Amino acid sequence: MTAVRTPPPPRLPVRSRSEGRGRGGLSPMLTRLAAERATGVLVRERGTLHLADGLVVHAESPSAPGLDVLLTAHGLLGADDWGAALAATGDPARAGRRLVDAGRITPGALELCQLSALYDAAYFCLAPSSTPGRFRYGAPADPDGTADPAATPPSGAARPAAPATLMFRPLPVAALERETVRRRDLLHRIWPDPRPDEAPLTVSARTAPPALTRRQRTVLDRVDGVRTATDIARELGRLAFHTLVDVRRLAAAGVLDPGRATAPPPAHPYEDVVPAPPPRAELLSSDPHVTLLKRLRDALEAL
């Protein structure tokens, strides 16, 4: 009797995180809002994104220093000047435009700070989330509760792409997500352990630290076992992401301890990704043959 041997069936395709990230974006809800040119505020676990006609015009996150910190930390603008402008307008974007009109800062300086603050906050807003996002439709409002005339034109008039207080062209969602992914990949290449990003930072017991740059030394001088990377960024008046780069490089050099273990990542770190099935070895971990093979492997590795 002749036995016919057939090849094993091909493995079923598994949708990886990188594939899902490239096709569906970091937030499917945000992608859909961009497609429908929605206007409103997307509230996520670690911050908010403000949209106008499907374009991102503003971002806020507790993990990123705001526009006021970037403008006042290095002498570009006095804290009293900012406080007076904010009290008069009630809104950071309008306060910045008021300072430009008064000649206190240049339009280029305000544009650079606005864009930097937006990218910085958006990095945290688009972080993997354990809770679904919520979107509130509607135009931005003035501090007194009335609608912003720049965002709600009269009937029949064309809606502008962004409020008049912005000094830059609003950003497409795809461009913002590409930059966020690039920043994630950069941090992962420097040091793949994300614990130093949020945990209180401590100096390791290493006796001979390597040569450090001036920026890294400035960060290291503020590590006291209590401050986090966000605290240090706000104290220095720097962008939070740039501080994370320095922190991870210090961790990779062995100067900083990785930090205490944080909460496990959410089950679905990307909303549009189907998690891959567990490896077959995990499924058969109770099989006695598999257990024997593992013991043999461990014994051979110990030789």
pLDDT digits (tens, 9 = 90+) for 174-210: 999 999 999 999 999 999 999 999 999 999 887 666 7
Q: What is the pLDDT along the chain (303 residues), one digit of tens a residue?
A: 555 555 555 454 443 444 444 445 688 999 999 999 999 999 999 999 999 999 999 999 999 998 889 888 877 788 888 889 888 888 777 888 888 888 898 988 889 989 999 999 999 999 988 888 899 998 654 333 334 433 333 333 333 334 546 777 899 999 999 999 999 999 999 999 999 999 999 998 876 667 889 999 999 999 999 999 999 999 999 999 999 999 999 999 889 987 654 444 444 444 433 333 334 444 334 455 666 666 666 666 555
- 118 by Cβ neighbours in 10 Å (0-12 / 13-18 / 19+) ranks as buried
- Cβ contacts of residue 259 below 8 Å, gap of 6+? 195, 196, 198, 199, 200, 201, 202
Calculate the average pLDDT of the chain.
Answer: 77
The pLDDT score that the predictor gives to residue 259 is 64
Angle at 156 between CA 152 and CA 161, to 5 degrees: 45
Dist. CA 51–CA 247, nearest whole Å? 31
The pLDDT score that the predictor gives to residue 46 is 94
How does DSSP classify residue 55?
Answer: E
